[in-house]
């Protein structure tokens, strides 16, 4: 079959049958879309004769020019009818979904990527008259939704990435974009907010072991607290979206639909060990046919883009550069001012420098050629800038892990799946969905390439053809005997609604902190670290006796352990917690991300020892050869890689191999690991129990220093204006300069000073949304 298509045998018949099939059933047969893509590649002149008819029967009305045949006229009439009814150039799929959402209380649907779901969501957001809550599985998706929504609505609509009741004097309605974990804050405002729509995107999160329980609990609480609001669940590639309704008994006034329509064709290739490519199909029986060209090379040379899905470990050890260097070399250096500005912002954010020892960043060097890296340990702010870099068309190659497939709308001409280890079926289907852009190009059928290593072909076909289903019973209703001890508090609290929303812990965890005798530990910590309404500075901290500094760390560990069911941590957990304490204290001292990286870099690379050696060389006490020998002997200090806590199975893997010379220091690894410590360990593991303990201590003692320390842990500052600015959604890195221009700020609004003439265009754009 593949060989016949490539040779042009019977292709007109295939084209005619495809049009008939799409006319009767819509573009749901992936095998037909694959055949059409191959015909377009190998026989473009013949394909062009049928192209507008194909687009018509696919329902892609926004791509159509004037009709040239009867069937095109019929479909133009259908498109016009849909546009008259909905006021939009919807595809039939979008029209069906919009109709159900408008008429039903509950709606659950599934659709492949590249079918226009984001356009549908934008219209729902614009047309809703009441408050909206958008629930997504990751903070990266929060940021993507935020950047889209903020451009859709006026200043009178408050758009936040967390739940706060602010800007009250200027807000007509609100849109909150949150994860389920952030959503608990919502229920404080049941009598304040008037939510008309809950939009649960990537709702298959309900299948995850622990987060699925949080998600389902949040869904049930929304129905209890906001019973009149619509609830819409969206998924990719789910065979039974109705399960999302059944598990919560959302039966009355509900509807569901599994849309299989696809707007983009896919061509599948396998890569042999010698680098050659073969065509194959997961959709129909066919011989493997050799591909005469290097598709990735041709794509890049012709201005296209490639996503290479790769393991994080390969990125960390440089395998992406070593294994794909020939393709990186094909990417020209970027010249766009916009691209160079993004690179410069990133360089400043992470404190990278070509001229300073050990501060060269390979991922920034790659970006200069339009090659980006994207994974979960990339700092969130850096990830957002990288995604902007891609969306603005500057990226030619993106090396990415699973973080990119969590619904982030970044399509590519070619997707190369290099890593199949522990890949779920849905991850694979999402990746395939990234292959091929849905363009607005009139009269053009879009397609993309998926490439896998030849050894994975049979696995690929099996996973590709396996239906992905949701369970019809919620994990909330499962037997909790098999839940790990560290999560049993959370599961019980969610099931029994015994969660302390103010302290962000379960009632049982709060009880342990309350009943434990932590006053002496917390008083010692506050005596050493808090000076009035400020924290001590870095130089003051290092003037504290080593014995007392060790006691500070030990007492912070004790406070953390107290909220757990366990009375001790494993050795690995202890090691990770110990490594996080200096970063916590730097955060408390208000250090920026680049300053924190610099401090950690100095420590790990033995800066004092390096400088002493350099002084000897300058004073000619040693020769250059002797300096080189001694320098190579200086080793990178041990530091365990960050892992979320608690984790009884954690292993304290070294960030750098034992005995590694400082001259081999990898700055990117430092960036990734430091972010993981600040995010996974401090913000997500330590902050809640430490802040809860400080709140309980303050209620018992009225010691104001506890509130000061809590603010520094939670916000990185104790400045009231800066805290309010964070609540208004400003970036922590910007609050210090913004605060100089704030005349007054509270829950009602922000009043800036009259004279903002000193601000540059970028700074003014940051403030613009709150200038009235």
The alpha carbon torsion through 471, 476, 478, 482 (nearest 10 deg) reads 110
Q: How far is residue 570's CA from residue 489's CA, in Å, rounded to a whole number?
A: 19
Kindly give the parts of the chain with pLDDT less than 70.
404-410, 480, 538
CA distance 166 to 373: 36
Residue 277: CB atoms within 10 A of its CB come to: 19
Other CB atoms within a 10 A radius of the CB of residue 49 amount to 10
Query: Could you tell me the two tokens for 699?
Result: 């209620």
Q: Which residues neighbour 758 within 8 Å (Cβ) at sequence distance 6 or greater?
A: none
Give residue 351's pLDDT.
94
Residue owning tokens 């709702």: 203
Q: 68 phi and psi, to 5 degrees?
A: -115, 0
Query: Do 558 and 518 form a contact (C-beta atoms < 8 A)?
Result: yes
Query: Residue 321: how many CB atoms within 10 A of its CB?
Result: 18
pLDDT of residue 411: 75
The reported pLDDT for the residue numbered 407 is 46
Any residues with CB less than 8 A from the CB of 51 and at least 6 apart, and which? 40, 443, 444, 445
Q: pLDDT tens for residues 477-502?
A: 877 677 778 888 888 887 888 888 88
DSSP assignments along 619-680, one per residue: TTSS-HHHHHHHHHH-BPPP-BPP--SS-TT----BSS-TT-BGGG--HHHHHHHHHHIIII
In terms of Cβ atoms closer than 10 Å to its own Cβ (0-12, 13-18, 19+), residue 158 is buried
> How far apart are the C-alpha atoms of 688 and 682, rounded to whole Å?
9
Q: How many CB atoms lie within 10 A of CB 188?
A: 14
User: Alpha-carbon distance 705 to 531, whole Å?
Assistant: 8
Residues with Cβ within 8 Å of 537's Cβ and at least 6 positions away in sequence, in order, are 589
Q: In terms of CATH, what superfamily is 94-258? A: P-loop containing nucleotide triphosphate hydrolases (3.40.50.300)
Q: Which residues of 65-101 are buried (b: 16+ CB within 10 A; e: fewer)?
A: eebeeebbeebbeebeebeeeeebbbbbbbbbbbbbb
Q: How far apart are CA 114 and CA 411, in angstroms?
A: 8
Res 585: pLDDT: 85
Residue range(s) in the chain whose domain bears CATH number 3.40.50.300: 94-258, 266-464
Dihedral pair phi/psi, residue 733, rounded to 5°: -70, -15
**Is 258:238 a contact under the CB 8 Å cutoff?**
yes
* Closest-CA residue to 180 (of 144, 141, 224, 211): 211
Closest CA to 564 of 690, 417, 752: 690
> What span, in angstroms and rounded, lies between the C-alpha atoms of 714 and 204?
30
Predicted structure pTM score: 0.89
Q: What would the two tokens of residue 83 be? A: 């546009």
Given a contact cutoff of 8 angstroms between Cβ atoms, the answer to whether 199 and 134 are in contact is yes
CA pair distance 771, 245, nearest whole angstrom: 42
Residue reference for tokens 């420590």: 603
Note the pLDDT of residue 99.
92
Residues 6+ apart with CB under 8 A from 137: 179, 180, 202, 205, 211, 406, 407
Record the tokens describing residue 32, joined without a space. Answer: 């037909």
User: Measuring CA to CA, which residue among 39, 37, 51, 41 is closest to residue 10?
Assistant: 39
Angle at which helix 92-103 crosses helix 117-127, to 10 degrees, equals 40
Q: How deeply is 401 buried, as exposed, middle or buried, from its count of CB atoms within 10 A (0-12, 13-18, 19+)?
A: buried
How many C-beta atoms surround the C-beta of residue 545 within 10 A?
9
The answer to whether 164 touches 186, Cβ cutoff 8 Å, is no
Identify the architecture of domain 266-464 in CATH: 3-Layer(aba) Sandwich (3.40)
Place of tokens 């990125």: 315
Contacts of 482 (CB under 8 A, 6+ apart): none
**DSSP conformation class of 700:** H
> What pLDDT does residue 406 have?
59
What are the backbone dihedrals phi and psi of residue 505, each rounded to the nearest 5 degrees, phi first? -130, 170
Are the C-beta atoms of 767 and 756 separated by less than 8 Å?
yes
- Separation of alpha carbons 549 and 556, rounded Å: 11
Rounded-to-integer distance, Cα 402 and Cα 379, Å: 15
């Amino acid at each position: 079959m593949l060989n016949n298509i490539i040779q042009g045998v019977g292709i007109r018949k295939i084209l005619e049958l495809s049009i008939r099939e799409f006319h009767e059933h819509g573009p749901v047969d992936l095998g037909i879309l694959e055949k059409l893509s191959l015909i377009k590649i190998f026989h473009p002149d013949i394909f062009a004769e049928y192209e507008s008819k194909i687009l018509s029967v696919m329902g892609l009305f926004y791509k159509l020019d004037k009709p040239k045949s009867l069937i095109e006229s019929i479909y133009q009439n259908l498109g016009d009818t849909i546009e008259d009814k909905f006021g939009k150039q919807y595809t039939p799929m979008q029209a069906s979904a919009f109709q159900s959402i408008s008429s039903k209380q509950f709606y659950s649907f599934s659709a492949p990527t590249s079918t226009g779901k984001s356009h549908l969501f934008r219209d729902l957001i614009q047309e809703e008259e009441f408050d909206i809550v958008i629930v997504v599985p990751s903070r990266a998706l929060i940021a993507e939704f935020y950047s889209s929504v903020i451009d859709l609505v006026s200043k009178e609509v408050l758009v936040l990435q967390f739940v706060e009741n602010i800007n009250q004097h200027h807000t007509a309605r609100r849109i909150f974009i949150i994860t389920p974990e952030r959503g608990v804050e919502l229920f404080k405002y049941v009598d304040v907010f008037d939510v008309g729509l809950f939009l649960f995107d990537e709702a298959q999160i309900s299948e995850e072991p622990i987060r699925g329980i949080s998600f389902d609990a949040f869904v049930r609480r929304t129905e209890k607290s906001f019973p009149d609001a619509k609830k819409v669940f969206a998924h990719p590639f789910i065979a039974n979206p109705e399960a999302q309704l059944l598990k919560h008994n959302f039966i009355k006034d509900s509807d569901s639909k599994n849309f299989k329509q696809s707007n983009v064709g896919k061509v599948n290739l396998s890569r042999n060990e010698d680098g050659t490519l073969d065509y194959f199909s997961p959709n129909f029986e066919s011989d493997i046919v050799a591909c005469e060209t290097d598709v990735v090379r041709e794509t890049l040379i012709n201005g296209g883009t490639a996503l290479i899905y790769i393991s994080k470990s390969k990125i960390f050890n440089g395998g992406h550069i070593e294994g794909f260097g020939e393709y990186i070399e094909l990417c020209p250096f970027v010249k766009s001012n916009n691209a160079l500005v993004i690179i410069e912002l990133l360089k400043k954010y992470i404190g990278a420098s070509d001229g300073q020892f050990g501060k060269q960043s390979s991922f920034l060097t790659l970006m200069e050629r339009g090659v980006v890296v994207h994974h979960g340990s990339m700092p969130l702010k850096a990830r957002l800038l990288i995604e902007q870099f891609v969306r603005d068309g500057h990226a030619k190659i993106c090396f990415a892990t699973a973080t990119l497939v969590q619904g982030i709308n970044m399509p590519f001409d070619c997707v190369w799946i290099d890593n199949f280890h522990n890949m779920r079926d849905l991850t694979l289907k999402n990746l395939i969905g990234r292959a091929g852009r849905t363009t607005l190009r009139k009269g053009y059928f879009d397609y993309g390439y998926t490439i896998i290593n030849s050894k994975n072909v049979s696995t690929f076909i099996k996973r590709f053809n396996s239906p992905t289903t949701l369970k019809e019973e919620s994990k909330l209703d499962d037997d909790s005997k098999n839940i790990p001890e560290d999560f049993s508090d959370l599961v019980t609290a969610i099931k029994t609604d015994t969660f302390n929303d103010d302290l962000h812990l379960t009632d049982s965890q709060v009880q342990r902190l309350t009943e434990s005798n932590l006053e002496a530990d917390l008083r010692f910590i506050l005596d050493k670290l808090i000076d009035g309404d400020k924290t001590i500075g870095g130089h003051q901290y290092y003037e504290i006796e080593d014995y007392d500094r060790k006691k500070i760390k030990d007492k912070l560990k004790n406070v953390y352990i107290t909220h757990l069911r366990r009375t001790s941590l494993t050795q690995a957990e202890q090691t990770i917690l110990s490594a996080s304490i200096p970063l916590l204290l730097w955060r408390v001292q208000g250090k920026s991300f680049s300053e924190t990286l610099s401090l950690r870099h100095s420590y790990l690379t033995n800066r004092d020892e390096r400088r002493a050696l350099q002084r000897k060389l300058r004073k000619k006490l040693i020769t250059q050869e002797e300096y080189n020998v001694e320098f190579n002997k200086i080793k990178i200090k041990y530091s365990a890689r960050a892992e979320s806590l608690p984790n009884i199975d954690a292993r304290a893997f070294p960030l750098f191999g034992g005995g590694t010379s400082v001259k081999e220091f990898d700055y990117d690894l430092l960036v990734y690991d430091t972010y993981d410590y600040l995010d996974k360990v401090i913000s997500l593991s330590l902050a809640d129990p430490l802040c809860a303990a400080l709140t309980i201590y303050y209620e018992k003692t009225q010691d104001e220093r506890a509130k000061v320390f809590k603010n520094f842990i939670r916000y990185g500052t104790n400045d009231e204006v800066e805290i309010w600015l964070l609540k208004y959604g400003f970036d922590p890195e910007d609050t210090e300069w913004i605060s100089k221009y704030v005349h007054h700020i509270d829950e009602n609004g922000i009043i800036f000073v009259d004279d903002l003439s000193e601000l540059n265009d970028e700074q003014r754009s940051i403030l613009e949304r709150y200038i009235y």
